[in-house]
Structure 1
Amino acid sequence: MSREKLRANGNMIEREVIHTNKVSKRIMDIAQDVCEFFVVFIKILLELFLRIFDKMMTKKLKDISGEIVLITGAGHGIGRELALHYTAFGSVVICVDINEKNNEETVKKAKRLMQTSVHAYTCDVSDREAVLKLAVKVESEVGRISVLVNNVGIMPTHPLEQHTAKEIKRVFDINVLSHFWALEAFLPHMKQQGRGHIICISSIAGIVGLTNLVPYCATKYAVRGMMEALHEELRDGPYKNLIKLTVVYPYMTNTGLCKRPKVKFPSMLGLLDPKEVARQIVLAHRSSVNEITIPSSLLHINNWCRLLPLRCGLLLKDYIDSGVESDL
């Protein structure tokens, strides 16, 4: 046999060996992927059973006495009620608001419950430098916080074309960027202690788009995404299970933000009482719940509607017919 034929045969055998190796590797990769998926599937089933079992059992609530809790937007509404609830549970409460008079009123009410555990700080939380300075001051005067409640928010309610550029920027500065500045300032407090809890108040407008609330909805969806992404970062790092996160989506609440609410079924979906909303938020904190709507049924209704064709969800939304009228 000539040298050329031997070389050709050798090349052919080499190609067949390479092809065989590639096929074998591909089969092994597929088998490994199938095995890994099977393991994940079993873990998902076990998690479902655990969650069902957990729902059936009486859950022990976390003791929050002695926690140092900082609440933004504590001068009125949900923020004020949260300050009162946390004070009643024996937490050290730090009330932060841009309105000094309203904030001091909250502190007065809280001190009737607990004389020495409530503190007031005036701060524009949309100002990054002001928030960073606040963190230094709080640490030196009160201590490192262990619970951060990002509650502050504003809600102009009119059609998108009637929002000014300044107004839209202000909504994002307060409703979104203030959360980032608070995290930048106070998340290190929790990491230094190796524990903590971050609670962000989004809105039902953070899971459902609504008329006259385009910028507001965008900010509340942003809060939802921020918290989900932050949860992933903490879950993959050294603070897994040490720093908890809870995002809350309240329905329309009687705080003054909803100037012209539209409610078709007031007996079922009327404006919520801020006291009840605050109670549910503290309960979610003590239960270490990741996310909750108030009322809780709205989250399940939304999740199921998202599985249906878009038109089905719109038909249900039209039937409920709740939202806000223009405030102009």
Structure 2
Amino acid sequence: MHGINGMTKHTKIELDQIEMVDDLRTIWPDEARNFTPWLSESENLEQLGEAIGRNLQLSETESSVGAFSVDILATTEDDDGVKTVIIENQLTETNHDHLGKLITYAAGKKAQIIVWIVEEARNEHQQAIQWLNEHTDEDMGFYLVQIKVLRIGQSRPAVKFELIEKPNEWERKMRSNKNLTETKALQLRYWDAFVEYLQNQEEFKKYFRIPETKPQHWLTLRAGSASFAVGCLVNTQRKVIGTELTVWNRDFYDYLSAHKQDFEREIGHELIWHGEGKHTLRIYVETPGNIKGTEKGWNEFFSWYCEMAPKFLISARKYLETFNQNNRKR
């Protein structure tokens, strides 16, 4: 549009302001009766899981610990197996009482992952969580999360989880990588090289976050789902590499298995199906790949991972969406 003397006349763009809901009690009047049931719903627990970088599966709410009860008891599965998670909610500023409860509940439930959700984190409690992460082993992790409620104009309120403190994975890796065997040292070097390779793979980074590396035969690629993850594999004895879909939801695995031919057609390979695990179910493909002796062929292996991993992710997301839709209709 042009105005006087040919000058461009710009259309005014109306934008609204993001407002913070100051009093969380206007959304959840009572922690136990309102907030905890809300957080325990699968989509909200998944949002929290995305914020802390873990898949979370609900076990129980108001789970007893002696004369007390932890708000939410859950599980998470990572590269080291299934871990117990406790979640303590505090819709006020942090205090010593809740910090003490957090440690008491962790001991009572033998939890490895401890999540403290608060309205506002005081500096001394933030330092306390940092200290706990620095002085516990890599099997444990303490997370301090602030919850914010936002609104634009008259819109419905939206929740944002802000991660304030978490374990320092790099520091823990340095502590745990002493005295590695030759094979473990090779695995770590291989995955570190893969992560460096990924820095320039912009298409890959549209699908996955850059992962943390460990001296093991697999590397997990998180994709923001509590039902599955994609993994890269290497087997130095059998001289193969692989890409897999790790599934933590038995019903979803059975749904994929019922659509096996279509799923394999989308991946472009006949797949190996392992559905015997109690918690972890696996669907994967392998190809020859010997990482010993020379690093010259590693980039070829990395390229194969970058081709296969998004295929697993895209197909799994599509089937998960249909699976969830079918469940909601029931």
**TM-score category (smaller protein):** under 0.3
The structure that is helix-richer by fraction is 1
- Between the two structures, name the one with larger relative contact order (CA 8 Å, sep ≥ 6): 1
The TM-score, its normalising length taken from structure 2, stands at 0.28
